[in-house]
A = this chain, B = another copy of it.
Amino acid sequence: MSDASFQSTSREWSLSGSGPLYIQLRQLLENKIECGDFRPGDPFPAEREIADLCSVSRVTVRKAVQALVADGYVVQRHGSGNVVAESVERVEQSLSRLTSFSEDMQRRGRTVRTSWLEQGIYPASPEEMIALGIRSDTMVSRIARLRIADDTPLAIERASLSTNHLPNPEKVKNSLYALLEEYGCKPVRAVQRISAINLNAEDARLLEVPLASAGLRIERISYSSHGQVIELTRSVYRGDAYDFVAELQIGDAAK
């Protein structure tokens, strides 16, 4: 309630630039979000409040805010106020540890076979560029294999690595990680994103299931001990034949 001359960070609330006010204001607000001045998740200042702070009309503020809404920066909520949104529209939830493919298969006593689909060096796709953090003119090593358990195709694994980390993808025979260890870039941490998809034509054929069957899609990014991205692996598992098992401890250990 007290006066708002308090100033949280380096940037102020003054509009001293040139051009339309609502454009300047939009820039100002966007910066405040990008800088982390407004944390995604919590309330965005009310429109009248911003209007007072910047000494402009509320409609001007509105125009700026609406531009941010259009770009997905903030969500408007009539009666309760606006909030800073997270940029992703897909909802995420965390799990603890997951069992790995081989681990799981062994436990179920099944025989595992691998069929190679792809093994070589190719121009990087946009998705690979982003995930691996490489430039557009770089090549990447790709390894794609079909996992077969007891003559039933279970999963397709497509791994992409920078050629720095894996210059000779054709040499991978069994364990990718064993070879990586030779080059001294062993992954120590990984983040997996698990979602459900309807299989496309190619994947459905490979997995020998009808088109549009449900599949588990797992995108994994592995990091070295230095925090460097090592590999991007996109896998698709047959939904009708594979389960991921996660075990959680719900400890009182907290506090």
Contact = CB atoms under 8 A, between A and B. Distances in A.
Nearest to A94: B250
A193 interface: yes
A29 interface: no
B41 A106 contact: yes
A70 interface: no
Nearest to A150: B75
A47 interface: no
Nearest to A98: B246
Interface string A235-252: 001011111111111111
Nearest to A85: B109
Contacts of A85: 108-109
A237 B191 CA distance: 20
Contacts of A111: 77
Nearest to A191: B247
Interface in A1-55: 1, 18, 40-41
Contacts of A95: 98, 192, 194, 244-246, 250
Interface of A: 1, 18, 40-41, 74-75, 77, 82-87, 90-98, 101, 104-111, 149, 154, 186-198, 212-216, 222, 237, 239-252, 254-255
